[in-house]
């Protein structure tokens, strides 16, 4: 029942660096053709140049519907209908519920949640034209638990869980699966300087690597052919609890 990615078209957001760039490399290694999108144009273009004609880069602000439609048109003209969408783009913003500016809160939800909705809204007809496929939304362990001073980010990722399940219910009969990945602390520019602290009390007490998330992504695209609307966690065990011996040792210092 495994699905081949050979010559299938995948649209990836937030693809210029970090997890997104690793996803693009992994997809190309499996034979896919990729439209890589981001707002970091220099890095995105360098990534595409390094991977040859199976990757095309274009600028995409995920909150802009017209840019989504332009990106889709480019993908279809270059490679054909899109079979898979990877909603990877996101931002982290810090601030308490009391002190965060409303504009910052709204912007965070616009990128992390509305941007994913727009992507699905625009790309679903193309996936139907391809005969079916899948959508993978990238959330966070912040979609499974609260984090102080990350209220906007947490709200956006919890919202993405519900959106994913709703889309899965709507699209199953169209042969389109929709699933969600919750990464924990992963070695990317987004958490530079925070990863070691975040991982300290996990059962697997190290930062995760982008390639480990890519492995799960590839599994969902090719192997998890009977899974839809579900959540897959890559977090070193972070959300199962905290190791009390580690907490005590930290308290003793």
φ, ψ for residue 189, nearest 5 deg: -60, -25
Give the pLDDT confidence of 145-188 residue by residue, as tens digits. 999 999 999 999 999 999 999 999 999 999 999 999 999 999 88
Global pTM value = 0.92
Strands 84-87 and 133-138: parallel
Give the pLDDT confidence of 177-231 residue by residue, as tens digits. 999 999 999 988 776 666 567 777 788 988 999 999 999 999 999 999 999 999 9
Spans of all domains in the chain: 9-252
Q: What is residue 38's predicted lDDT score, i.e. its pLDDT?
A: 98
The one-character DSSP state at 111 is I
For the cut 60, the answer to whether the pLDDT of residue 248 exceeds it is no
Distance CA 226, CA 99 (A): 44
For the cut 70, the answer to whether the pLDDT of residue 242 exceeds it is no
Could you please report the per-residue DSSP string of 185-231? SBSSGGGTTTHHHHHTTSSS-SPBPHHHHHHHHHHHHHT-TT--S-E
Give the pLDDT confidence of 91-129 residue by residue, as tens digits. 999 999 999 999 999 999 999 999 999 999 999 999 999
109 HSE (CA, 13 A, CB side): 11
Give pairs for 164-169: CB < 8 Å, separation 24+.
Answer: 164/137, 164/139, 164/229, 164/231, 165/229, 167/120, 167/135, 168/228, 168/229, 168/230, 169/229
For the cut 50, the answer to whether the pLDDT of residue 250 exceeds it is no
C-alpha radius of gyration, the chain, whole number: 18
Just give the CATH number of 9-252.
3.40.50.720
Would you say 58 and 71 are in contact if contact means Cβ atoms under 8 Å apart?
yes
Give the pLDDT confidence of 123-138 residue by residue, as tens digits. 999 999 999 999 999 9
Distance CA 75, CA 73 (A): 5
Active-site residues, by number, are 153
Residue 16 three-state SS: coil
* Nearby residues of 221 by Cβ (< 8 Å), 6 or more positions away: 3, 5, 10, 84, 134, 136
Per the model's pLDDT, the better-predicted residue between 50 and 2 turns out to be 50
For the cut 50, the answer to whether the pLDDT of residue 252 exceeds it is no
Distance CA 157, CA 3 (A): 28
Distance CA 211, CA 200 (A): 21
Distance CA 169, CA 42 (A): 38
């Amino acid at each position: 029942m495994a699905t081949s990615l050979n010559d299938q078209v995948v649209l990836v957001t937030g693809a210029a660096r970090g997890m997104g760039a690793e996803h693009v490399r992994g997809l190309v290694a499996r034979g896919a053709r990729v439209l890589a999108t981001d707002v970091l144009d220099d890095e995105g273009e360098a990534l595409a140049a390094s991977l040859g004609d199976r990757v095309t880069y274009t600028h995409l602000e995920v909150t802009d519907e017209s840019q989504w439609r332009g990106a889709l048109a480019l993908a279809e003209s270059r490679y054909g209908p899109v079979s898979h969408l990877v909603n990877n783009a996101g931002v982290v913003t810090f601030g308490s519920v009391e002190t965060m500016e409303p504009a910052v809160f709204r912007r965070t939800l616009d990128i992390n949640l509305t941007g994913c909705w727009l992507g699905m809204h625009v790309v679903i007809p193309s996936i139907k034209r391809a005969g079916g496929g899948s959508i993978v939304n990238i959330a966070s362990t912040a979609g499974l638990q609260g984090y102080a001073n990350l209220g906007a980010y947490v709200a956006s990722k919890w919202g993405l869980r519900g959106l994913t399940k709703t889309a899965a219910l709507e699209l199953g009969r169209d042969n389109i699966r929709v699933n969600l990945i919750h990464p924990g602390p992963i070695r990317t520019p987004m958490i530079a300087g925070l990863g070691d602290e975040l991982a300290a009390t996990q059962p697997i007490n190290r930062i995760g690597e982008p390639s480990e998330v890519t492995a799960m992504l590839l599994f969902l695209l090719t192997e998890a052919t009977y899974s839809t609307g579900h959540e897959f966690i890559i977090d070193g065990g972070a959300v199962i609890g905290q190791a009390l011996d580690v907490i005590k040792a930290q308290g003793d210092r």
